[in-house]
Amino acid sequence: MKIGIPKEIKNHEYRVGLIPSSVSELTGQGHQLFVQKNAGEGIGFSDQDYQDAGATILTSAEEVFAQSEMIIKVKEPQLNECSLLRPDQILFTYLHLAPDLAQTQALIKSQAVCIAYETVTDNSGRLPLLTPMSEVAGRMSIQAGAFALQKSNGGCGLLLGGVPGVEPAKVVILGGGIVGCNAAEMAVGLGANVTILDRNGDTLRQLDKQFSGRVNTVYSTHESLKRHVLEADLVIGAVLIPGAAAPKLVTKEMIKAMKKGSAVVDVAIDQGGCFATSHATTHDDPIYIVDDVVHYCVANMPGGVARTAAQALNNATLPYVLKLANLGYKAALKADKHLLNGLNVCHGKVTIKEVAEVHNLPFTDPLDLL
């Protein structure tokens, strides 16, 4: 198969769809790889590294899209990239379509086969291609929160872990999944006072055992969520409904009632965000203030640690890329129900219920298109 890796164009996005070691795996199995010039330069992978792995370097994204049967990316395609897609071409990347009608419509128009990393599942019901970036984003969220709490950034001037004789900050994490667990590990390591809210009793028991009582676990109700948010110095939004828009758990009224100089980090912003006052920001301009609360809502957080993130992502995606390349998308999707769950748009049809519902579009069973 002819496989293309364009350079990412989102603000400060240096990750790359395939790193040289992944390219080598694919060329070793007889596939042709086309890599856009300087695609990996931002994280230390030169064009020569890709050529040594057997890839051909092309100057522009237009050339990469034109010559490839499958496009491997990291972030959702921007509208100008969507226009380069063609019928039956495979796109394999993060899509996050629930909060993005414009991209959804552009992919429908393209007639391409669009498979989203974030909705591929496994036998345990987990999201294996979202997990590595959730781990990265969860750990980064505490760094971002510490940054937001600095007085120079509009925060109240708290050090998360405090110092001897001074109380640590109170960190409240909404959601005890991969993001929340990793955020808790970092916050506990810094010495913060950490509370995790979740509605799954088994998750809370597991977290209590994992942290040996070093975090407070609370069943999430409207009352308990409001109480802990209003007491918090830093709130991490770590909720996820696979494929769907994130629920707005924290209202404008709650934000207004929070402590002056407190901070929120919305890791769910890729799916629309879980704070009513959230809107996506960039690494160039990551924070803004609403009602004296500092908001950090960068939509591609792992891009800030792009080398680590790209390597972690490739570790997870490569087996699926190989399956699609070796079998073709029809056979690969028919053979693997979990990869089939990643199919979001195909031949102009929406094939994931959550996206169809949120955008009021018709849903088509993906098997009907294969």
Catalytic site positions: 96, 270
d(CA 7, CA 34): 11
Strand partners, 56: 34
CB proximity list for 40: less than 8 A, separation 6 or greater: 16, 19, 20, 46, 49, 50, 310
Q: Which helix (DSSP H) or strand (DSSP E) does residue 178 occupy?
A: helix 178-190
Nearest alpha-carbon partner for 286 in 269, 308, 262: 269
Q: What is the 3-state secondary structure (H, E, C) of 317-369?
A: HHHHHHHHHHHCHHHHHHHCHHHHCCEEEECCEECCHHHHHHCCCCECCHHHH
Half-sphere exposure in the Cβ direction for 301 (13 Å, CA): 27
For residue 58, give both structure tokens: 């092309």
The DSSP call for residue 150 is S
DSSP-based three-state secondary structure for 43: helix
What are the distances in angstroms from CA 96 to CA 140, 200, 221, 248? 20, 24, 27, 16
In 40-142, at which residue ranges do the beta strands (DSSP E only) sit?
Answer: 56-58, 70-72, 90-93, 113-116
Count the neighbouring beta carbons within 10 Å of the beta carbon of residue 298.
27
- Does residue 228 contact residue 195 with C-beta atoms inside 8 Å? yes
